[in-house]
């Protein structure tokens, strides 16, 4: 427990020391959000609904995705850089597991950044207040929170899995950027999955990527019944377990390769 508190303390100090940078990136990331919002304002001039979504639902959809992205992080580039430059060796000599450290550091950094950004978040919500929707009950707030937690940890685990590719490959940047684009699309980060053709939508609903964005938003907007939400949360948890097992296997094999080359 003392090690965990020490990790959190260090992460908090780092975030506070660079709070100007936190605000800079937050404001910079607002640009595509407002561009998207005003694009949909133009689309909805001639229609009240698009694929079953009202204007308020659509603006809320992208705003909540923006908040989820602020809480989530995939430490892919960080891990691959540590592996390729040999910096991982310093962590392996410490009396704690690297994966645990990566989890605590990433989650703490994102939560701290989110808290520091609360004044800006309040401003964004004020500017878009006419289009905001909120969960239909406190129960749905709790279910949405659980869905977001699954999203955060799934993003983190997949990010570490991708970063582990650097154990075997020297050029990974293009792969990581491609993954980010593709998963944003398949997970509902670019468009709600309801807008895809029915056959494609059915397939996407069984993939893990929808739990990054689309499923939490369905819970938030009240598009699912309580039974559907519970089933979705269970399946999301199963994906978490499967990816955790896969990460453990890949990590152990990667460390053997890393050690063999003098890492």
pLDDT tens digits for range 195-228: 888 888 888 888 899 999 999 999 999 989 999 9
186-189: list long-range contacts, CB under 8 Å, 24+ apart. Answer: 186/210, 187/211, 187/212, 187/213, 187/214, 188/65, 188/212, 188/213, 188/214, 188/215, 188/217, 189/65, 189/69, 189/213
| Residue count of the chain | 263
How much is the average pLDDT of 128-141?
Answer: 89
- Cα gap 69→151, rounded to integer Å: 10
Q: Which residue has the tokens 């949360």?
A: 233
pLDDT above 90 (res 240): yes
- Cα gap 232→113, rounded to integer Å: 29
Burial of residue 23, with CB atoms counted within 10 A of its CB: 0-12 exposed, 13-18 middle, 19 or more buried:
middle
Residue 239: pLDDT band with limits 50, 70, 90: very high
pLDDT value at position 12? Answer: 57
Angle at 115 between CA 163 and CA 176, to 5 degrees: 15
- Cα gap 220→223, rounded to integer Å: 8
Residue 102: pLDDT band with limits 50, 70, 90: confident
pLDDT above 60 (res 18): no
- Residues ≥6 apart with Cβ < 8 Å to 71: 110, 111, 114, 148, 152
Residue 124: both structure tokens together: 């964004």
Q: What is the pLDDT of residues 22-75, one digit of tens each?
A: 555 566 666 777 777 777 777 787 778 887 888 889 889 988 988 898 888 778
pLDDT above 90 (res 143): yes
What mean pLDDT value characterizes the chain? 82
Element (H, E) at 53: strand 53-54
Question: Three-state DSSP class for 191?
Answer: coil
pLDDT above 90 (res 249): yes
């Amino acid at each position: 427990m003392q090690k965990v508190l020490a990790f959190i303390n260090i992460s908090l100090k780092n975030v506070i020391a660079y709070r100007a940078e936190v605000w800079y990136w937050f404001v910079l990331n607002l640009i595509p959000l407002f561009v998207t919002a005003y694009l949909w304002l133009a689309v909805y001039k001639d229609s009240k609904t698009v694929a079953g979504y009202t204007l308020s639902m659509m603006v809320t959809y992208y705003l909540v995705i923006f908040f989820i992205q602020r809480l989530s992080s995939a430490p892919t580039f960080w891990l691959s850089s540590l592996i390729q430059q040999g910096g991982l060796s310093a962590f392996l000599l410490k009396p704690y597991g690297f994966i645990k450290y990566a989890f605590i550091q990433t989650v703490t950094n994102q939560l701290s950044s989110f808290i520091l950004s609360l004044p800006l978040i309040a401003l964004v919500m004020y500017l878009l207040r006419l289009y905001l929707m909120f969960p239909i009950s406190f129960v749905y707030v709790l279910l949405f929170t659980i869905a977001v937690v699954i999203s955060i940890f799934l993003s983190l685990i997949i990010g570490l899995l991708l970063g582990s590719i650097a154990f075997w490959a020297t050029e990974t940047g293009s792969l990581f950027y491609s993954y980010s684009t593709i998963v944003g699309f398949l997970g509902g980060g670019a468009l709600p999955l309801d807008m895809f053709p029915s056959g494609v939508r059915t397939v996407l609903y069984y993939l893990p990527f929808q739990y990054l964005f689309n499923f939490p938003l369905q819970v938030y907007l009240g598009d699912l019944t309580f039974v559907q939400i519970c089933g979705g949360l269970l399946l999301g948890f199963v994906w978490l377990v499967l990816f955790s097992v896969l990460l453990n296997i890949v990590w152990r094999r990667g460390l053997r390769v890393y050690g063999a080359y003098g890492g």
